[in-house]
Amino acid sequence: MMAASDAAAFLTYTTKALYLDDGEMAVIDPEGVTISSFVNGERKTKPVYEINWQPGEESKGAHRHYMHKEIHEQPDSCTNTMRGRMLPKEGLVKLGGLEEVADRLRGANNLIITSCGTSYYAALYGEYLLEEYAEIPVSCELSSEFRYRDAPMDEKTAVLAISQSGETIDTLEAVREAKRHGALSLGLVNVVGSTIARETDAGVYLHAGPEIGVASTKAFTSELVALNLLALFLGRQRRLSPSQAREILEGLEETPDLMRKVLAQEDKIVFLVDKYIEAENYLFLGRSYQYPIALEGALKLKEISYRHAEGYAAGEMKHGPIALVDPHFPTVALIPQSSTYEKMWNNIEEIKARRGTVIAVASQGDPQIATLADDVFYVPKIPEPLAPLLTVIPLQLFAYHLAERLNREIDQPRNLAKSVTVE
């Protein structure tokens, strides 16, 4: 990519003029972009944002679909989210976008995370993480609900909007509502210069690169990584020691390589899709950090295969979904090594007792799960809070390959849009 200084030098000699719709012309030069109207001669100046995307990133390459390419890009996109922001030896995280508001963040009494769709499931993950690392009270709010509620907020409240596009109207309006109450507004956004990025007081860019497939994949895992960085940033302000932070940072550094190991097992997913192709309904179960991943796995399946799927907190199973279980209703159970392993095991036993079929996503080195579940997909061992970065990959691949077998419009599923900019 051309460095910013080279680009500026290039533009010194090359002023570009672009003709836009509505009788406007944009003149681009090193100072910025000036939009002039042919109708009334009015001029508006727009700031220049540096976008860290390489030319060619927006092409499909050897992949049949953007979604497949984006699933496979995750080790690199997550690395890009971490790049230049982690100092493991010192147990520190550097987030330039938050420096100006660091003092206000230190004094914040609570954090509200607001978002939609897949980004909302990232928010739920963030809730567990931020409470564990930073001991700050966190609540997650669907933006479309939050903006119409009378949630108590003041200048001691921080509101974090998570949005891949930075343009989702409900999330944007939720940010505006928070600002009207005097809250500190933060953004966790992929698209540089997007409206949410511009309107929030401060924020963290994902740097995941362009995501073209409507169903979000690499932006989701980058959101999880960015939430880790934010939780460490706040954690070091509040309660985490350098050595605790160092351990987490070292785990994060290893994650992209472990993601590659998961992606290398794609054949197993193709086998599972073949085996379960007739199933019309699926249940996804998880606990704790795996609960948002169960929700995301079900959402991916619905979005692109049009098969019905429900995501549930496994502990809620006996409050309803268990009534649905029969041999034709497979359950995808997320059971990596964790503090809730035994509880998940019990849930799987309950499903098996009702003649349900179970596909388990478990940790390598857990042979006993194969004696209980019908099928097992193994992911490498990793500290519990980071396991979602691995367990979500087989779920993305399962949705992708099922949709492919069913000849669905994978990159542009029916009735869905990449950016929802109207209510």
Rounded Cα–Cα distance for residues 104 and 156 (Å) = 8
Shortest distance, position 357 Cβ to ligand G6P, whole Å: 29
Closest to ligand G6P by CB, 164 or 338: 164
DSSP calls for 363-377: ETT-GGGGGTSSEEE
Provide the 3-class DSSP secondary structure of residue 407: coil
| Minimum distance of ligand G6P from residue 166's CB (angstroms) | 7
Closest to 71 (Cα-Cα) out of 384, 416, 375, 401: 401
Q: Which is nearer to ligand G6P, 140 or 382 (CB)?
A: 140
Residue nearest to ligand G6P (CB): 117
Answer whether 118's CB lies under 8 Å from 216's CB. Answer: yes
Q: CA-CA-CA-CA torsion for 162, 126, 348, 354, nearest 10 degrees?
A: -40
Q: Find the shortest distance in angstroms from Cβ 23 to ligand G6P.
A: 30
Q: How far is the CB of 418 from ligand G6P (least distance, A)?
A: 6
Write the CB contacts of 124 (distance below 8 Å, at least 6 apart in sequence): 140, 291, 292, 295
Minimum CB–partner distance for residue 139 and ligand G6P (Å): 18
Nearer Cβ to ligand G6P, position 313 or 420? 420
> CA–CA separation, 187 vs 162, rounded Å?
6
Q: Residue 207 or residue 236: which is nearer to ligand G6P going by CB? A: 207
When the beta carbons of 188 and 361 are compared against ligand G6P, the nearer one is: 188
The minimum distance between CB 113 and ligand G6P, in angstroms, equals 12
Helix, strand or coil for residue 363? strand
Minimum distance of ligand G6P from residue 159's CB (angstroms): 15
Please identify, using beta-carbon distances, which residue of 203 and 380 lies nearer to ligand G6P: 203
Considering the complex, state which of residue 333 and residue 393 has its C-beta at the smaller distance from ligand G6P. Answer: 393
* 59 neighbors 296 (Cβ within 8 angstroms): no
CB of 173 to ligand G6P, least distance (A): 12
Q: Output the six-digit token pair for 319.
A: 């409050």
Which C-beta is closer to ligand G6P: that of 129 or that of 196?
196
Helix/strand/coil for 28: strand
Distances (CA, A) of 198 to 47, 50, 103, 208: 11, 13, 21, 18
Q: Which chain residues interact with ligand G6P by CB under 6 A?
A: 116-119, 163-165, 168, 171, 214-216, 416, 418-420
Contacts of 176 (CB under 8 A, 6+ apart): 199
Contact 14, 27 (CB under 8 A): no
Q: Which of 116, 97, 114 is nearest to 49 (CA)?
A: 97
Nearest residue (CB) to ligand G6P, 49 versus 271: 49
Helix boundaries (H) for 3-59: 4-13
- Cα separation of 243 and 258, whole Å? 23
Amino acid at 303: E
Quote the least distance from Cβ 163 to ligand G6P, whole Å.
3
